[in-house]
Amino acid sequence: MASAVLDYAPPARPKWLLRTLVIILIIAAGATVGAAIGDWVQPDLYIFNGSLAVPSLGAGTDMAAAKQAHINAIRASIPAAAATLNAQGIQISAAEFSNHMTLKDVPKSRLISIRCTSRSFNTTLAMVNALVIPYGNNVPGVTAMAGSLDRSTKYAAAGFVLGGAAAGLMIAMRRRRLMRT
């Protein structure tokens, strides 16, 4: 007569659970690498968005023309601001400064939208401090409004999606190839 064998070991975990966990970790690693690469290649990491308020004009005056005159005056001040930054040790040419600064008339308001971008946090702030703040302080009636300095994640987010998708596709293609053989 055979005796019964009692098995007190815990039940074995399903293999699909471990495989799924490994696949999720590989895709997450691919997404993380993609995000890091996207962040590394992004041309402008820091973005300042602010505005200048111009004085309201009397009746019959063209607000758009007045704002355009302020935009032109700010643009004309860029070479001096670039020279100030270079004297402070922040290397930037007037052309580069101009390329990283956007000034736009905000319709139906007294505002001029200002956007400064740079790869460096300090350079972005320095651009604002060398040009926008002095202009607002030196021109009567013009007020520099509070703005925000944010770190852009556009390229990092795209890299995250592409890295995760690439890792997932590589896993799917490898499994498909293994199933054929």
How are strands ordered across the β-sheet holding 143-151?
A: 101-105, 111-118, 46-53, 143-151
Q: What is the pLDDT of residues 36-73, one digit of tens each?
A: 999 898 888 889 999 888 887 665 567 888 888 889 99
Q: What is the pLDDT of residues 74-96, one digit of tens each?
A: 999 999 999 999 999 989 899 99
Residue with tokens 């100030």: 84
Q: Give yes or no for a contact between 100 and 44, defined as CB atoms under 8 angstroms apart.
A: yes
- Rg (C-alpha) for the chain, rounded Å, is 29
Do residues 116 and 124 make contact, with C-beta atoms less than 8 angstroms apart? Answer: yes
How do residues 139-179 score in pLDDT, each as one tens digit?
A: 888 888 888 888 888 888 999 999 999 998 888 888 777 77
